Chains A and B, each alone.
Chain A
Amino acid sequence: MIRVQHEPFDPGREQRALIQGRSDIGAVVSFTGLVRDFNERPEVEALTLEHYPGMTESALTDIVKEAESRWPLQGVCVIHRVGRLTPGDPIVLVVVASAHRREAFEACDFIMDYLKTRAPFWKKEHTSSGHYWVAERASDQRDARRWEEP
């Protein structure tokens, strides 16, 4: 299940919906990303998330398919918010269900690494000293390369 939305989400409700009525799931790993109040500059007051409608959904679908081809997964939920967010707001949710914990941990980690480097989202931060587009991080690229074939 993949959603791109303006509205907040409830990680507990999404997780319950994913595993409801299932007895074959042995592990659920959930990651929630939140808006920080410091990043490239201190005192981030808000951020605006832009995306590329259409490509965003297909990029996220491809990432989830790739995860499903690498690990035996029983269910995946990815929600990413767009629009204006303030510190403390949930911004992204990845919930992965599997029979065993290792697969769920790894697939959740993988989906976040690929989402951060391949899904067309862009953050603009608003601070007391001005607005600016967030620059990409070399560490995100390094993290994503961990999953490539040796």
Chain B
Amino acid sequence: MSLTHLNVRGEAHMVDIADKSESQREAIASGHIAMRPETLALLVEGGLPKGDVLATARIAGIQAAKRTHELIPLCHALALSKVAIDFHLDEEASRVEVSATCRLNGRTGVEMEALTAVSVACLTLYDMCKAVDKGMQIGAIRLESKTGGKSGDYRREADESEAPIVTGEYRSGEVSVGMRADLPCVRVKCLAELRERLGVSDLDVPFDSLEEQNVAGLKAALKARDDRFARLEDARILCAVNQVMGGDSTPLTADDEVAFFPPVTGG
């Protein structure tokens, strides 16, 4: 393995790519900018002084990808066939996640273009929001994947520390609840994204472990078993008792079925 931008004398040089064969190249990069929840809320509502933040950052990212060769000394000027910038508003982590996809048919890779697009989109988000929040932090700008070219395909391995990337099929996790089978229980189900984040699908909670005989009491009992259930306090998380929508004050009796789930997204 050697650094291709250094010649035999260790000097920087631009790689001659005239003899490389053309192939379809694609690179995806990602990053994020963390901000205060109030700033993110303003961004969602369109209440920031400089106007439409995401539309501006998207154009900035696309422009940046096209001008990468002007910024990075040894990069070639590329005729990109596609640049796409996407934003995901993560309210839980209070940040905007940015991803950029660049593509071309050519002789050199497009990862620098994708990384530059993400960087400039994040910088533009900072510029658009800085009037209300100077403490925003840009982070984790990195290549997610690249395909095409001689060096082969690359895909980032998922970090252990990250929230689990959900998979096609779910594995039902279980937590030990240390109960006797003959106790009257409330049957708890966690559905969809909540199930995958908690790693729990179904569990029984002994009815007499509830200090209050309602959904709030059940949440408290679950949280006492495992801190992960603190997530159930999130205002987004909905609840149904015996398959009818309920809330914290909905009363419970033994053998009730209580399901927790995120907002619905069918249709």
Contacts and interface: CB of A to CB of B under 8 A. Distances in A.
Interface of A: 33, 40-43, 48-52, 54-55, 58, 80, 84, 91-92, 112, 115-124, 126, 128-136, 138, 140
Contact of B168 (A33, A48, A92): A48
Interface in B218-267: 240, 243-245, 259, 261-267
B86 interface: yes
Q: Main SS of chain A's interface residues?
A: mixed
Contact of A42 (B101, B263, B264): B101
Contacts of B99: 41, 129
Contact of A40 (B86, B189, B191, B263): B86
Contact of A112 (B167, B189, B261, B267): B267
B264 A136 contact: yes
A121 B265 contact: yes
A41 B85 CA distance: 9
B168 A122 contact: no
Of A117, A119, A123, A133, chain B has the most CB atoms within 10 Å of the CB of A133
Given A122-B191, A133-B193, 17 more contacts: A42-B86, A43-B101, A49-B266, A50-B191, A112-B267, A115-B266, A120-B240, A122-B192, A122-B264, A124-B166, A128-B145, A129-B28, A130-B144, A131-B166, A133-B166, A135-B263, A135-B265
Contact of B259 (A55, A121, A129, A131): A55
Contact of B265 (A54, A122, A128, A130): A122
A121 B267 contact: yes
B9 interface: no
Nearest to B84: A42
Q: How large is the interface on B (under 10, 10 to 19, 20 to 34, 35 or more residues)?
A: 20 to 34
Given A122-B193, A131-B166, A131-B167, A92 B266 contact: yes
A52 B259 CA distance: 9
A126 to B, nearest CB: 7
Contacts of A140: 267
A55 B264 CA distance: 12
Contacts of A120: 191, 240, 261, 264, 266
A119 to B, nearest CB: 5
A131 B165 contact: yes
A121 B145 contact: no
Contact of A122 (B89, B145, B243, B262): B262
Contacts of B145: 128-129
B88 interface: yes
A149 to B, nearest CB: 19
B168 A52 contact: no
Nearest to A62: B244
Interface string B180-209: 000000000101110010000000000000
